[in-house]
Amino acid sequence: MKIWRGLILFLFFPFLRGLASAAPASSIRIQDVSTDLARYAPGEPVSIHIAINPGGESIPQTGLLRVSFFHVGEPVGSPISEPVHLSGSATRTVNIRWQPPHRDFTGYFVDVQFLDGTGRELARSETAVDVSSEWNRFPRYGYLAHYSRAEGADPKAWISELNEFHIDGLQFYDFQDRHEQPLAGTVAHPDSHWLDIAGREIDRSVLDGYLAAAHQHHMMAMAYDSAYSAYSSAFADGSGVRLQWATWNTGSGPRTLKTANSLNLPTNGSWQTHRLIIMNLDCMAWQNYLFGRMAQLFQVYPFDGWHIDTYGGHGAYAYDGSYLDFISGFRSFVNRASETLHKRVLLNTVSTLGQEQIARSNADFVYSELWDQNETYDSILTAADQVHQANPNAGLIFAAYLHRRDGKSAAAPAATEFNMPSVLLADATIFAAGAGHIELGDGTRMLSSDYFPNDAKLQVSPALHVALRHYYDFLTAYENILRDNLHPLPLSVELPGHASSSNGTPNTVWTISRRKNDRIMVHLINLLGSNSDHWRDVNVDRPDAPLLHQVRVRIDWPQKILSAGWASPDVDGGRFHALAYTYGCTAGKRYIEVNLASLKYWDLVVLNVAKESNAVHDRAKESTSDGLTERSCTH
């Protein structure tokens, strides 16, 4: 997979480097740039691995490898340079050691160039670095769902691949023995093999391998299990689970196992239970039982925490007939689990129900599954803003399954690969909203549905793999202006010559504005070319967005700015570029105009604005454009 990044970028995606100088005549390529860890503690050195391929050059060459570091476009320290000798066709791997500034919760862009003896650039690539003492501020969440070598599980290789996307936490999905008894065997004698709920083999050595590799790369390991489910057999097998802890769909009627509320599973195949009984989330006896079983699991396996699943139900009735509001119980359940187990805790707020409670809880961050209530692009932004309003410091991950079909539609499409425009536009929306997207896992696979083991149905194409590397580099390098306690800013933004909207209207360029201190961020998401405002592409056929050139952007802003710049994961590897700007005035309002070289899926414009103390003085100054003064733009 590593070779794809250099070759596909060069052969198939020239617009990704649209701002770079003309391609050098040399066939030398930087095949891959990666770091040894997904996340670094302050003061921890960074090891950068750079693979350079001579590209069949017959004449040995000695060049200079130059690695530069940036924070939101500003140089950080001095570049690191190292001479490199290339000969023959063998790929040369060079390791560069960098000591970042001792500053917590900071993202950096890493620019890698290979130069000849005259300083001419022969090859270029990039990566990113996250220096954060905790993962919960900038979570980049992935998953694992296969635990046997018969299914191709390769812990070292799969974790290494996810590390290249800076994934800093993993959900270990459906590894457990039973929902009410996640540990197979006992603490003293854990089993070496067992079956999960679907009858799939789980190999303890594979599970151990994942945990070791994840921790080696500074990824958090989260054990998946439900908050309120038990196998139907648990009530008679001596496990200690009691019927009085279950729930029912009515407030009266017989309280039997047969009438208990349940999630029904397929009756064919190798499923280990056909009913998951829905338990009383608020029942202290059930909580004590389940927390005790999770504690046993944590005694054997070094998980960092518990990923608590829920199924989206609003409530049910207890054994005594009282009504249970599941959503209102989420926060206390999470807090008690955290305090009892002394582990990290996450909880799935299905359809975003209860996410504002979780934002104020002991959960490491908010994890929300997006369903029918959040089918549009704009609804993603609305859901994110709800969380940020509840707690501006809360991290956020969305589970959004791009090509999931509900079984009621016509015949499934014959697609074998993910639709690239759907994936990148959804990620652009989620990342611009200040969140992350759980989608990558099991090495090079990706989620298309809510049942994670089905992740082999659609493939990630080589082109999409390259693009996603850029998107995750971008998410990491610019984390401080994408996810870090930002505030919505209702700016009027226009693109002369192109339809635009502030609410994700189909066939427009969607503009989203945010502010943090003295920076304004304006996101441009290209929804042109499609009449649908739905991100979930059930037919795997969303049309591609047109590539726009020389895009004029007018941003209504009454004050002077100090500088402007832009970056895009679709252009030049995500490098930050300074922008020339002019002031103008229309309809009594002053605007700032910039010109972007291109827009494919997502561009980010950054304005550094004057401090408020200078605003009055600035209003008296003339603009730098067409002779208009501030005073001529009367309000």
For 92-146, write each residue's pLDDT tens digit. 999 999 999 999 999 999 999 999 989 999 999 999 999 999 999 999 999 999 9
CA atoms within 13 A on the CB side of 605: 30
Query: Across residues 328-355, what is the average pLDDT?
Result: 98
Does position 168 have pLDDT exceeding 90, yes or no? yes
Amino acid at 232: S
Q: Quickly state the pLDDT bin for 500 (edges 50, 70, 90).
A: very high
How far is Cα 590 from Cα 371, in angstroms, rounded to an integer? 41
The burial of 214, by beta-carbon neighbours within 10 Å (0-12 exposed, 13-18 middle, 19 or more buried), is given as buried
Does position 610 have pLDDT exceeding 80, yes or no? no
Does position 615 have pLDDT exceeding 50, yes or no? no
In terms of DSSP H, where are the helices of 148-247?
155-163, 204-216
pLDDT > 90 fraction of the chain, expressed in percent and rounded: 85
How far is Cα 442 from Cα 444, in angstroms, rounded to an integer? 6
Residue 414 has a pLDDT of: 85
Query: Across residues 457-465, what is the average pLDDT?
Result: 97
Q: Quickly state the pLDDT bin for 329 (edges 50, 70, 90).
A: very high
How far is Cα 351 from Cα 81, in angstroms, rounded to an integer? 50
In this structure, are residues 50 and 29 in contact, taking their beta carbons and an 8 Å threshold?
no
Q: What is the DSSP string of 394-455?
A: --EEEE--TT---S-SSSPP---B--HHHHHHHHHHHHHTT-EE--EETTTEE-SSSSGGGT
How far is Cα 211 from Cα 220, in angstroms, rounded to an integer? 9
Q: Quickly state the pLDDT bin for 13 (edges 50, 70, 90).
A: very low
Residue 22 has a pLDDT of: 40
Nearest to 450 by CA among 396, 404, 418, 412: 404
Q: Quickly state the pLDDT bin for 59 (edges 50, 70, 90).
A: low
Give the chain's end-to-end CA distance (angstroms, integer).
57
In this structure, are residues 392 and 137 in contact, taking their beta carbons and an 8 Å threshold?
no
pTM of the full predicted structure?
A: 0.93
Of 326-340, 397-411, 488-502, minimum mean pLDDT range: 397-411
How far is Cα 297 from Cα 302, in angstroms, rounded to an integer? 9
Residue 89 has a pLDDT of: 80
Residue linked to tokens 């994934």: 167
Structural domains of the chain, ranges and CATH numbers in brackets: 2-131 (2.60.40.10), 141-226+295-317+324-402+439-454 (3.20.20.80), 487-632 (2.60.40.1180)
Q: Quickly state the pLDDT bin for 276 (edges 50, 70, 90).
A: very high
Residues 350-391 have pLDDT tens digits of 999 999 999 999 999 999 999 999 999 999 999 999 999 999
Report the chain's mean pLDDT, rounded to a whole number: 91
Nearest to 129 by CA among 105, 103, 110, 104: 110
Q: Quickly state the pLDDT bin for 159 (edges 50, 70, 90).
A: very high
Residue 10 has a pLDDT of: 39
